[in-house]
Amino acid sequence: MTDYQKIDEEHYLPTYKRFPLTITHGKGSKVWDSEGKEYIDALAGIAVNSLGHSHPKVVEAIKAQAEKLIHISNFYLTEPQALLSEKLAELSGLPRVFFGNSGAEANEGAIKIARKYAHTHNRGGEIISFEGCFHGRTLATIATGKLSMQEGFEPIPEGFKTAPFNDIETLKSMISDQTAAVIIEPIQGEGGINVVDKDFMKQLRTLCDDNNIVLIFDEIQCGIGRTGYFFAKDYFGVQPDILTSAKALGSGVPISAIMTTEKISSVIKPGDHGTTFGGNALATAASLAAMKAIEEENLMGQATEKGQWFIDKIKENQPESIGIKGIRGMGLMLGFEFDRETKPIVEEMMNNGVLANATAETILRIVPPLNISYEDLEKVIEVMFKSAKKIRENA
């Protein structure tokens, strides 16, 4: 039998602390490894596979498009790219769209667009982000985040500041004529499933309006129906100037999008930005199929109902001994705060057939497919309790 783990260790850049699993295939909310063991996937590729694995409508769209046209240069237009632009403009209320390949790429593009707008209006290029944020791993996006991700990659690009989360008064004191944009995740993912305060978000919108500052919403993880809203911005009732999307946008096929207003996009001219692969025919066809399935199968409604059901079940049945201190999130973007590190719990859950994730040290992140069955959710809860209890007893 081929030792895939050994091949990986010998040849892949050692950027990941991988679990000792080689996943071979998946269907719905389940995946199987190379030894035939079945797992419930409560991580969904880190909030990517919102339709589960191998959704028939997405598979058919990919097959049909691959037989016709996979890729051409963005010197030319394809039908699925035009249709997806139109669809995202309709869903977001932001009429201009640009496609890329990843979340970090979308956020880099958003920063460029914001700086171009700011410079056109005689402002500086400073970008303000928030403590606990995560906007990607490129040089510019790590400049927005925590210092530990910047170590060893100096010199870090200049022009970035970090403000306290949900603190409007401190943010006001940081604003100047050098400020180009504020970038924020409506729900922080890697930071621990932290939901922005509604009043803060509305005050942030006003602050940006009053100072002609671009407001960027990073909905890479919380967008595309996961919170029960197509975009989380709709929960807050706040419209950003720029919104970035990726992850679930392609249902597993790499694609990202920048959506923006006519006002902001008016400063962009041919040659200001571009991409080779972004928005190619295959990726946009897959995304169109995913968007259609999310709407037709009422997955936003399912996210709301199943998320609340999951929380209620946890509260009703959790043994005091397992150490859950709090629950965060919306829809099926949930974080469970424990009184200790959650990595050992995640490893034990994997041993018991459930894939989950530890983030921000003490948070257990659950972001399953939106169409996961209640039966599978029951199993996730059972395994979470069992695993947390075992880790606590063995501590």
Give the span between the Cα atoms of 55 and 344, in whole angstroms.
31
Per this entry, what is the length of the chain? 395
DSSP string, 154-221: PSPPSSEEEE-TT-HHHHHHH--TTEEEEEE-SEETTTTSEEPPHHHHHHHHHHHHHHTPEEEEE-TT
**134 catalytic residue (yes or no):** yes
In this structure, the number of other CB atoms found within 10 A of the CB of residue 351 comes to: 13
- Please identify which of the residues 30, 116, 233, 247 carries the catalytic annotation: 247
- Taking alpha carbons only, the member of 301, 390, 296, 310 closest to residue 352 is 390
**241 catalytic residue (yes or no):** no
Single-letter amino acid code for the residue at 190: E
What is the torsion angle, in degrees rounded to the nearest 10, for the CA atoms of residue 294, residue 296, residue 299 and residue 305? Answer: 170
Q: What are phi and psi of 305, to 5 degrees?
A: -65, -45
In this structure, the number of other CB atoms found within 10 A of the CB of residue 146 comes to: 15
Output the CA angle 371-376-378, nearest 5 degrees.
120
CA distances to 245, 253, 273 from 32, rounded to whole Å, are 28, 20, 41
DSSP E strand stretches across 34-74: 38-41
**41 catalytic residue (yes or no):** no
Give the span between the Cα atoms of 155 and 159, in whole angstroms.
12
Buried b / exposed e over 165-184, threshold 16 CB at 10 Å, is bbebeebeeebeeebbbbbb
- Please identify which of the residues 99, 130, 134, 165 carries the catalytic annotation: 134
Single-letter amino acid code for the residue at 145: G
- Taking alpha carbons only, the member of 316, 322, 359 closest to residue 194 is 359
Please tell me the number of Cα atoms within 13 Å of 240 on its side-chain side.
30
Give the span between the Cα atoms of 129 and 80, in whole angstroms.
34
Contacts of 378 (CB under 8 A, 6+ apart): 313
Please list the active-site residues: 134, 218, 247
